[in-house]
Structure 1
């Protein structure tokens, strides 16, 4: 194998260093550009959506660059994820931790040595997350959002879209030949309920509950219904739609209230389930994602009414809600029980 040290570009004949055009990854010819291509990783589709919004032309994995040879035969190549023709730049994404990208850094270093005129940029996971968090695809103006406020992106827009579509298909199969009453628990459920409703193919009506919390000695004393459903649910199949379930106390209270009204059935679908906080066993038939014990925002979930319009779900750094006061212990914001 040809040694590729600092003199790599001098030891390899120029005629060997020819980019190899890759087969097209196009899978359909209609729809937004990011929906036409078969991507190897969800993060690549996210980046393509970001580029589409800003009308930046891109090509996915158009060429591979030889970087090692055995005799005259190419033994290793490097294929950048994207080429941006208007900027004459290649972009390589890595969503791995920086400590785990040594092999990719080695390849990139060889690529730059062998092709010194090539403009290539490596985006690390942190760079990529901050880019998405700061821009939010530009679809909304996110008030007071700073990149240092946002921790890890737990669930991307593509993952949300894919999972909500799957939930809608399953619910449609399970309730084939029946009609539903979808009851959303305000406010965080708004985005999820709207997207889920579009994927459900059986007849349904939509109604809402709003809860109010009180400082009570017992968990069940902390919540009451502030806005009740308008639609009568007696004898109907009810699907309660939640944004997130934590301890289960709130859900247990709501289910007991609705069961008392004589529905034919009640099932629960929740976008997020934080089982690490569960104290009450509650029946949840449909779950979008299991999440860790972190404070999360985005896709309808807020902190002090901010961050709801982020197109992904991410953790909020504790520095945002840790407010030092004299003699006080820093407190995480209250989350739904």
Structure 2
């Protein structure tokens, strides 16, 4: 599909699955080399990371563990207070942690996750994101180590990213043609 319509919004193909797979393969090689003898824990931020994390883990060739967190805003916006709906569920003290995010937008949820992990006294935190909107990031991060694609202020859906819960299942990423977001 080159175009999709959701409600009254039009989206066009932005990044196809073949490009995504190639980029993830390269990220997996980099991570596997860096963490060769470190037994990292990958912490995926749900719901958006599920497709990216599944494909990324197929490209990781070192012993590792996987866990997930689920965050939500109290008022349903990126401006609201963040709270945890589902925790990591394992002891991470002294562990090498790689946070897996679908997209870094404002950075608010990422900052919340990093703060929570630092309280657990982890050895290190690296961030691996499929997409990042550099213009939108409102926090200073020195641990974003792996980014699949840097994008403009685009409103994107597909490959785990949603619009009102829809489109997470699409293999490609689409951008809204009517506005930026």
The answer to whether the superposition gives a TM-score over 0.5 is yes
Superposed displacement of residue 185, structure 1: 0.4
Q: Is the 8 A contact 1:268 1:286 kept in 2?
A: yes
Considering only CA atoms, is the larger Rg found in Structure 1 or Structure 2?
A: 1
1:196 paired to 2:59: no
1:129 paired to 2:2: yes
The unaligned stretches of length 5 or more in structure 1 are 1-127, 134-144, 320-331
The unaligned stretches of length 5 or more in structure 2 are none
1:306 paired to 2:166: yes
- How far does the alpha carbon of each residue in 1:27-82 deviate from its partner, in whole angstroms, 9 at most, with x for none? xxxxxxxxxxxxxxxxxxxxxxxxxxxxxxxxxxxxxxxxxxxxxxxxxxxxxxxx
Selected match of 2:91 from 198, 211, 232: 232
Q: Which has the higher helix share?
A: 1
Two-structure CA RMSD over aligned residues (Å): 2.3
How many residue pairs get aligned? The number is: 178
- How far does the alpha carbon of each residue in 1:230-276 deviate from its partner, in whole angstroms, 9 at most, with x for none? 12111111100000011112211210110111111111000000011
1:151 paired to 2:151: no
4+ residue segments displaced more than 4 Å: none
Which has the bigger relative contact order, CA under 8 A and spacing at least 6? 2
1:275 paired to 2:134: yes
Superposed displacement of residue 215, structure 1: 3.5
Selected match of 2:67 from 182, 207, 212: 207
Q: Is the 8 A contact 1:150 1:314 kept in 2?
A: no
State the TM-score, normalizing by the size of structure 2.
0.90
Match of residue 152 from structure 2? 292
State the TM-score, normalizing by the size of structure 1.
0.50
Selected match of 2:124 from 247, 262, 265: 265
- How far does the alpha carbon of each residue in 1:140-181 deviate from its partner, in whole angstroms, 9 at most, with x for none? xxxxx56x8443322111100100000000000001112011
Q: Which has the higher strand share?
A: 2
Match of residue 246 from structure 1? 105
